[in-house]
Amino acid sequence: MSGLDETLLDDTEATVRVRFVVNGRKVACEVAPRETLVDCLRNELELTGTHAGCEMGACGACLVQLDGRAVHSCLMYAVQADGARIDTIEGLTESGVIADLQAEFHRRNALQCGFCTPGMLVNAHELLSQVAEPNREEIRDALSGNYCRCTGYEAIVDAIDAVAKARCEGGGAT
């Protein structure tokens, strides 16, 4: 049984090498076990589109996709993600999969300061991949873990609603 190496306990600040596939590229970095995934993405990998807000899973600004599912990158340590596929707002932007959502957010002023927007988009992307045409209540429910301190949410719900309808009709958002 290859168990715990107790020398590990002597230096809790010692860094560990972790490997992920971030936005389609293989990367490796050295992290302290207590470094959260959001800090690793921002500080080590310089992917600053993922925002660290409350750092306790309440505000949703730090959402990324981990193996295809939206998760709070402040609620896990980078070491836990070793071997995982991570897609951040940069990767989702580059691939074009949320281009219609981004355009609609822009068109409807569904952002002001923009701090919450990456998390909103990751969440909206997951919602629309699971429910083709959610009603407004379902959209609000899905967004219940994402805080926006500027817009009052109405335009955000409008934008997601419009994109859902447009996708169902097979065209772009109007």
Partner 1 sequence: MKARAFSYFRAATIEQALDAHARVGDDARFIAGGQSLVPALSLRLQAPRLLIDITHIGELRGVRREGGFLRIGALTRHCEMLSEPLIAEFAPLLHAAAPFVAHPAIRNRGTFGGSVALADPASEFPAMTLALDAEIEIAGPSGRRRVKADDFFLDLFETALQPGELITAIYVPLFKADQRFAFDELARRRGDYALVGCGMLATCAGGRIDDIRISFFSVGNTPTRVKGAEATLIGSSLDSERIAAAQAALEGDLAPPDSDEVPPAMRLHLARVLLGRLLGRLKEGA
Q: Does 74 bind partner 1 (CB under 8 A)?
A: yes
Stretch 143-172: interaction string toward partner 1, x if CB under 8 A: -xxx--------------------------
Q: Does 17 bind partner 1 (CB under 8 A)?
A: no
Least Å distance, CB 23 to partner 1, is 19
Q: Rounded CA gap, 62 and 49, in Å?
A: 9
Q: Rounded CA gap, 12 and 48, in Å?
A: 27
Q: Please select the residue that binds partner 1; options are 34, 106, 136, 149, rule is CB under 8 A.
A: 34
Stretch 110-129: interaction string toward partner 1, x if CB under 8 A: -------------x--xx--
Q: Please select the residue that binds partner 1; options are 30, 141, 154, 169, rule is CB under 8 A.
A: 141
Contacts of 134 (CB under 8 A, 6+ apart): 127, 128, 142, 160, 161, 164
Alpha helix (H) residue ranges in the chain: 37-39, 89-95, 99-107, 117-130, 136-142, 154-169
At 49 the three-state DSSP class reads coil
Q: Does 8 bind partner 1 (CB under 8 A)?
A: yes
- The per-residue b/e assignment along 145-170, b for 16 or more CB within 10 angstroms, e otherwise, is ebbbeebebebbbbbbbbbbeebeee
Q: Which is nearer to partner 1, 102 or 123 (CB)?
A: 123
Q: Please select the residue that binds partner 1; options are 43, 48, 80, 93, rule is CB under 8 A.
A: 80
Taking CB under 8 A as the binding criterion, the range among 31-39, 41-49, 91-99, 152-160 that sits at the site for partner 1 is 31-39
